[in-house]
Structure 1
Amino acid sequence: MASFKTVMKSGHPPTLFAAFLYFDFCFAIWVLNGAMGPFITETYKLTPAQTGFMISLPILAGAIMRFPLGILAQYIGRKNAAITEMSVIILAMIYGFFFVSSYNDVLAMGVLLGIAGASFGVALSLGSGWFPPEHKGLAMGIAGAGNSGTVLAVLFAPPLAQAYGWQAVYGFAGAVMVIPLIVMIILAKEPPDSEHQSFKEHISCLFTKDGWAFSLIYVITFGGFIGLSNFLPTFFYEQFAVTKVEAGRLTMLAAFMGSGIRIVGGYFADRIGGIAVLSVVLLAAIGSFLALTSTPSLAVTTILFMLCFAALGAGNGALFQLVPLRYPTNTAVSGSMIGEIGALGGAILPNVMGFSKQYTGAFATGFVVYAVFAAVVLGCLFLWQKKWVGAWVGPRGKVIDPTPAQLQAAGRLEPIAA
């Protein structure tokens, strides 16, 4: 078993750090409206359904923008794509600081926040690009731990909004975005793991059953993580009548678990297999969702969310141990596509929770819907892994040494039959 030091020596740590920081700050900006949800809801007297839509819009916009950014990264390089994206985000934050003054403006700002949500595939591909296949799971876990940006958002946005007004938070966010931009320019190096491919080859993952299978799994793991991260401040505020700042701190506890455990998920996926880890975490997520339907006390609810986020975070890391094994030559595009579909699941969840609250008077129905969906995906995983093992991955999802023919075929299986 390779030590952490050995793993780092096999790649380029400065690029990995730059990718982590880039994703971390982008993620924080992506979920700003969710972190400030109670403030915005109070300002414009929103219904639960309106709040759910407002929170989901940045997630939806970010999901849609991920794939185009992944395509762009294949042509101008992942480092240049990241620099371009961060520069545009700073301009978007300036707009938010000066011009957001109505609910419609908040919705427009939600679309602009989605630019930050597009960073996922590029960040993970850039961070892991220097590492060999047997260590990509850990490298992607480290880069993907940038979803700890949720912690930054829910920890700092509510008190800043309380002190200076929630519109001012956009200005603070734009100012701090300069930090990862400078780090990316100075430290990052474009990885050598890319090949010149045609546009058709770039998007080949869209026409494979495995790509859609990964996407459905990610709807549960990442969709659950980002959807709940955005909705929890509103959930705690309305369900337990805590203050807006306290709601952010409670959300931070859960989000921190999900972010930190993502690295652990990638680590164990490298060693015992991504399929095995995914099976365990999906079971844990189902149990957590169902337990939350009983409306337990604040302390028990917080612990359950921490367990749920830990499972979802580990699942995120485990899934992206499998992606570069299945698509070794176009990981940025495939990762962006999978991330896009997964984030769409995150856009659905706040709306489900909002409608559940508005029409049933409680959030339990929303948890049941997601638990049932997770159970269906777990059953499908059991069927899918029978085809995966031996074809491009080893038992339980571990790395196998591919033949030259397998390397050539990876990422280009037959399209789904009509």
Structure 2
Amino acid sequence: MMSNIRSITVLLVTTWAFIVCFAVWMMFGVTGIPIRDELGLDPFQFGLLTATPVLTGSLFRLPLGIWTDRLGGRVVMFVLLVACAIPVWLSAYATTLWQFLLLGLALGLVGASFSVGTPYVARFFTKERRGFAMGIFGAGTVGAAVNMFVAPALISAYGWQAVPKVYAVALVMTAVLFWLLSAPDPGTGRTTAGSTARQLALLKNPRVWKYCQYYSILFGGFTALSVWMPSYFRSEYGFSIAQAALLAACFSLPGGAFRALGGWLADRFGAHAVTWWVLWAAWICLFLLSYPRHDLVIYTVDDNPLHFSIALPFWFFAGLLFILGVAFASGMASTFKYIGDEFPNSIGTVSGIVGMVGGLGGFLLPIMFGAILETLRFNSSIFMLLYGIVTVSLFLNYLTEVRKLPVMGKRAHEMSDDPAAKQPRE
């Protein structure tokens, strides 16, 4: 009974820490709008500003995952929360783009908290309950929605500089709460993953790279859209910052809240079934979202022009965005169900690798959004890009899971550290 209470407590306090970290990580998605206006940034520069924190949060997922396997999630998470509060506070005093970019690189480390919390929480639960626990913890991405509500209110009342100051204080307070309520990591120093060289050898496993591709669009797409949508709603529909952030929450809120559902579904129906269907749901949503606003002229038999204006109304657009958020959230949970089942002794390392690649997707996509918007000059072009990436994911899933073609090879099963995973799937 006490062990169960301890597991639930660790899950809840670690999830709260991840919520705060994710809100901080997405901070520039809202504060970047007044900063863009203040500095006169173009779409590419704005994309770079919003993407910079995602870069370090992605690159450090692998080393922090390894350190978590060795030092324990409790210690690593506490140090991370305290250390990141400093650049977050200092960003309130930045006045030039290069200052924002440098501080963004530093504060972006909070994004690596996912690869710390994932193995830490997983070690307190059995394999049968791990998918649901991972879904609950992964629901910390709801921090993106929290940012959409908190940041606009602070900007409206006190200016954008108040946001990083409040977030820095929240990080320190969360660090204290986490240390008081969390428990020592039962896997500290006892992981069978071996040396750093052996852990990095997992990079040779083609199955790991398949999950990286899934996560690059599921998590990378979620992260990129979370920081981009407030600006999108403001540009496409003319809403204020507060209104745009509220509508953007239609995407980021279900992206967190429904991740637990994705974990439960993955436990019940299997990681493959959930991943397959959420990719299809995302594919359909992105196809519709890709449709640009345009005017159509049709000439009648009398040679008279008929003018039609075709555009997605904001309520329909927001509804599609909601469904897309649910799909991405469920897919993120099912991807880590794969990892927990197939690499139980290297969860920290593998989740770090997959999380790093997914985060890099979240870094590159906003920059690509800015570049494609500069080139094509219409907002829905960003969804065309995502549509193409999801198509690749569906094709890969079809070949390796539905058709069971040896694209990933028998070697992938042999290289798993779980004996059960080495057996070919029925």
In the alignment, is the contact (CA less than 8 A) between 2:215 and 2:354 conserved in 1?
yes
Q: CA deviation at 1:204?
A: 3.0
Q: Return 5+ residue gaps in structure 1 as ranges.
A: 1-5, 394-404, 414-418
Q: Which residue of structure 2 aligns with residue 397 of structure 1? A: none
Q: Alpha carbons of 1:210 and 1:298: their partners in 2 closer, same or farther (altered >3 Å)?
A: same
Q: What code does the residue aligned with 2:264 have?
A: Y
- 1:209 is aligned, of 206, 209, 212, to 206
The C-alpha deviation readout for 1:146-182, integer Å capped at 9, x for no partner, is 0111011111112212222212211110111123212
Q: Which residue of structure 1 aligns with residue 249 of structure 2? A: 252
- 1:352 is aligned, of 368, 385, 389, to 368
SS of residue in 2 equivalent to 1:166? coil
Q: What code does the residue aligned with 1:166 have?
A: W
After TM superposition, the score normalised by the length of structure 2 is 0.87
CA distance in 1, matches of 2:235, 2:369: 12
- 1:155 is aligned, of 137, 149, 154, to 149
Q: Which residue of structure 1 aligns with residue 390 of structure 2? A: 374
The C-alpha deviation readout for 1:255-275, integer Å capped at 9, x for no partner, is 111111111111000010110
In the alignment, is the contact (CA less than 8 A) between 2:56 and 2:105 conserved in 1?
yes
In the alignment, is the contact (CA less than 8 A) between 1:205 and 1:412 conserved in 2?
no
C-alpha RMSD of the superposition: 2.5
Q: Alpha carbons of 1:406 and 1:95: their partners in 2 closer, same or farther (altered >3 Å)?
A: closer
Q: CA deviation at 1:10?
A: 9.1
The C-alpha deviation readout for 1:191-219, integer Å capped at 9, x for no partner, is 43442522123223212101111000001
The C-alpha deviation readout for 1:357-385, integer Å capped at 9, x for no partner, is 22211123321121111111111112222
CA distance in 1, matches of 2:108, 2:420: 31
CA distance in 2, matches of 1:250, 1:242: 9
In the alignment, is the contact (CA less than 8 A) between 1:392 and 1:410 conserved in 2?
no
Q: Return 5+ residue gaps in structure 2 as ranges.
A: 293-311
In the alignment, is the contact (CA less than 8 A) between 2:343 and 2:417 conserved in 1?
no
CA distance in 2, matches of 1:24, 1:356: 31
Q: Which residue of structure 1 aligns with residue 158 of structure 2? A: 164
Q: Which residue of structure 2 aligns with residue 195 of structure 1? A: 191
CA distance in 2, matches of 1:277, 1:41: 39
CA distance in 1, matches of 2:148, 2:71: 34
CA distance in 2, matches of 1:232, 1:121: 25
In the alignment, is the contact (CA less than 8 A) between 2:10 and 2:182 conserved in 1?
yes
Q: Alpha carbons of 1:111 and 1:243: their partners in 2 closer, same or farther (altered >3 Å)?
A: same
Q: Which residue of structure 2 aligns with residue 399 of structure 1? A: none
The C-alpha deviation readout for 1:241-284, integer Å capped at 9, x for no partner, is 10011111111122111111111111000010110000000011
In the alignment, is the contact (CA less than 8 A) between 2:215 and 2:335 conserved in 1?
yes
CA distance in 1, matches of 2:341, 2:332: 15
CA distance in 1, matches of 2:195, 2:86: 32
- 2:335 is aligned, of 319, 330, 333, to 319
Q: What code does the residue aligned with 1:377 have?
A: S
CA distance in 2, matches of 1:163, 1:50: 27
Q: What code does the residue aligned with 2:109 have?
A: I
In the alignment, is the contact (CA less than 8 A) between 2:271 and 2:334 conserved in 1?
yes
In the alignment, is the contact (CA less than 8 A) between 1:78 and 1:126 conserved in 2?
yes
SS of residue in 2 equivalent to 1:203? helix
CA distance in 1, matches of 2:240, 2:221: 24
The C-alpha deviation readout for 1:35-58, integer Å capped at 9, x for no partner, is 222211111111111111111111
CA distance in 2, matches of 1:255, 1:408: 34
Q: Alpha carbons of 1:411 and 1:55: their partners in 2 closer, same or farther (altered >3 Å)?
A: farther
Identity fraction in percent: 26
1:30-179 equivalences in 2 (<5 Å): 30-97=25-92, 99-179=93-173
CA distance in 2, matches of 1:126, 1:103: 36
Q: What code does the residue aligned with 2:73 have?
A: R
CA distance in 1, matches of 2:228, 2:416: 43
Q: What code does the residue aligned with 1:367 have?
A: F
Equivalent residue pairs, number: 396
In the alignment, is the contact (CA less than 8 A) between 1:79 and 1:190 conserved in 2?
yes
Q: CA deviation at 1:389?
A: 12
Q: CA deviation at 1:392?
A: 9.5
In the alignment, is the contact (CA less than 8 A) between 1:220 and 1:374 conserved in 2?
yes
In the alignment, is the contact (CA less than 8 A) between 2:342 and 2:416 conserved in 1?
no
After TM superposition, the score normalised by the length of structure 1 is 0.89
The C-alpha deviation readout for 1:115-165, integer Å capped at 9, x for no partner, is 111111111111221111111110101111101110111111122122222
Q: Alpha carbons of 1:202 and 1:67: their partners in 2 closer, same or farther (altered >3 Å)?
A: same
Q: CA deviation at 1:411?
A: 8.9
SS of residue in 2 equivalent to 1:201? helix
Q: CA deviation at 1:63?
A: 0.7
CA distance in 2, matches of 1:289, 1:89: 35
Q: What code does the residue aligned with 2:96 have?
A: S
Q: Which residue of structure 2 aligns with residue 224 of structure 1? A: 221
CA distance in 2, matches of 1:406, 1:229: 33
In the alignment, is the contact (CA less than 8 A) between 1:11 and 1:131 conserved in 2?
no
Q: What code does the residue aligned with 1:186 have?
A: L
The C-alpha deviation readout for 1:29-81, integer Å capped at 9, x for no partner, is 00101122221111111111111111111112211111121122122211100
Deviates more, 1:85-94 or 1:210-219: 85-94
Q: Alpha carbons of 1:407 and 1:219: their partners in 2 closer, same or farther (altered >3 Å)?
A: closer
Q: Alpha carbons of 1:407 and 1:332: their partners in 2 closer, same or farther (altered >3 Å)?
A: closer
In the alignment, is the contact (CA less than 8 A) between 2:213 and 2:393 conserved in 1?
yes
In the alignment, is the contact (CA less than 8 A) between 2:47 and 2:366 conserved in 1?
yes
